[in-house]
Amino acid sequence: LVKELTDRGYTVSWGLVEAADYGVPQLRQRSIIIGVRSKAPCFLPPPEYGGTGQPKYRTLRQALRPLKEIGPVQPLSERKRAVYARVPAGGNWRDLPESVQRETMGKAHLAAGGKSGWWRRLAWDSPAPTILGMPDHSSTALRHPEETRCLSVAECAAAQSFPVSVEFSGSARSQYQQIGNAVPPLLGYALGKQLDR
């Protein structure tokens, strides 16, 4: 893609950005390509959070603090609620007894990889993991740090850095999808400022 853009006369910069570097209270890496019709390249914006002399990454606690209403919440089955009741804040399937690990993970228990998203409960004082459109799936869990439930629509939106005033439409499932598929507004803003220079 970079070669094709270059062949078409664009000066191209590209790289991996971390949304948390721009004030998004979420760890969400994305590949970004910037092509401009100019000899002078437009580079990716420099990180604004998390580095030496910069503010610390924003946390889930900071993201959820302004919420007065949480909106729709994707329900969990009784089976999932029973498992999540045993997972501490910031923990995941590894915090379950071995017999429960095998039962809840099924064949995934033997699979390679970190599997850190499986049966995960979020931590208050860290950024959220990547907000996805299915907060109730066992492998992409977005469980509240204290309550045995998924993050709500409004909580997922806050972790994506949407202002509280933004409204989403459609079913709860559709709203989760809209939020999970979106570019975090603060990341979009940082890229926009960089393009405007």
Residue 170 has pLDDT above 70, yes or no: yes
Q: Does residue 110 have a pLDDT over 80?
A: no
pLDDT in tens, 117-133: 888 999 999 999 999 99
Name the residue with tokens 């039962």. 103
Examine the pLDDT at 100 and tell me if it is beyond 90: no
- H or E element that contains 12: strand 11-18
Cβ neighbours of 7 (radius 10 Å): 8
Q: Which residues of 124-138 are buried (b: 16+ CB within 10 A; e: fewer)?
A: eebbbbbbbbebbeb
* Token code pair at residue 49: 């959070």
Tell how strand 29-36 and strand 11-18 pair up: antiparallel
Give the single-character DSSP code of 103.
H
Q: Angle 185-188-191 (CA atoms, 0-180°, nearest 5)?
A: 155
Backbone angles phi, psi at 11, to 5 degrees: -95, 125
CA–CA separation, 148 and 132 (whole Å): 18
- How much is the CA Rg of the chain, to the nearest whole Å? 19
Tell me what the pLDDT averaged over the chain comes to: 92
Condensed to tens digits (0 to 9), the pLDDT of residues 17-42 reads 999 999 999 999 999 999 999 888 88
Copy the structure tokens of residue 54. Answer: 């910069």
